[in-house]
Amino acid sequence: MSCQVILLVEDEVLIRMLLAEVLRDKGYQVIEAASGDEGLAILLSGQHVTMIITDVRMPGQIDGMALATRAKQAWPQRPVVVMSSHLPAADAAIADKFIAKPFVPAMLMKTIENLIGPPCQTPPPHNQTAS
């Protein structure tokens, strides 16, 4: 059984902590990054990441939109969700989904499930070996 891994990029630690906890409680694996630079480092390290959720305004060399753009150029099949309190949705067109802050966690969960499905994917029966 393979589990979905979400890269969560958010510089506000309490928001990141809250969102990561909600996602982990639902069964998703979460990798937390505190900036666009950290998010990019995780992607470049080759760790398995199913989808990316990123804030826009963050300190560092690259912001959330630059991270989303680089991620979509390198891994076009990997869903990216951009969340922001100030960015017009049209400016986040590179992303698969834009979520305006503030939002309730249930809204984010619905978006995630629509994009990547449930936390863990059970392989089809013909791939399972008898024990």
Partner 1 sequence: MSDTTTPQPDSIIVADSEVIIRNVLSDYLRQCGYKVIDAATSDEVIEILVNGAGPFAAVLSDADLGGSMNAFSLRFWVREKRPEIHFILAGNVDVAAKAAGTLCDQGPHLKRPYDPQHVMTHIKQLLSAARK
Residue range at the interface with partner 1 (CB under 8 A); choices 32-40, 67-75, 80-88, 119-127: 32-40
Q: Token pair for residue 87?
A: 């960015």
Q: Which of 6, 19, 28, 35 binds partner 1 (CB under 8 A)?
A: 35
Strands annotated E in the chain? 2-3, 5-9, 29-33, 51-55, 80-84, 97-100, 120-121
Q: Does 14 bind partner 1 (CB under 8 A)?
A: yes
Q: Does 17 bind partner 1 (CB under 8 A)?
A: yes
Q: Does 47 bind partner 1 (CB under 8 A)?
A: yes
Residue range at the interface with partner 1 (CB under 8 A); choices 40-48, 49-57, 83-91, 93-101: 40-48
Strands annotated E in 22-119? 29-33, 51-55, 80-84, 97-100
Nearer to partner 1, 32 or 63 (CB): 32
Q: Does 32 bind partner 1 (CB under 8 A)?
A: yes
Q: Does 31 bind partner 1 (CB under 8 A)?
A: yes
Specify which residues 121 forms β-bridges with: 2
Residue range at the interface with partner 1 (CB under 8 A); choices 16-24, 63-71, 85-93, 111-119: 16-24
Own/partner pairs, 39-44, CB within 8 angstroms, 24+ separation: 39/7, 39/9, 39/67, 40/67, 40/70, 42/7, 43/7, 43/70, 43/71, 43/74, 43/75
Binding site for partner 1 (CB under 8 A): 13-14, 16-17, 20, 31-35, 38, 41-42, 44-47
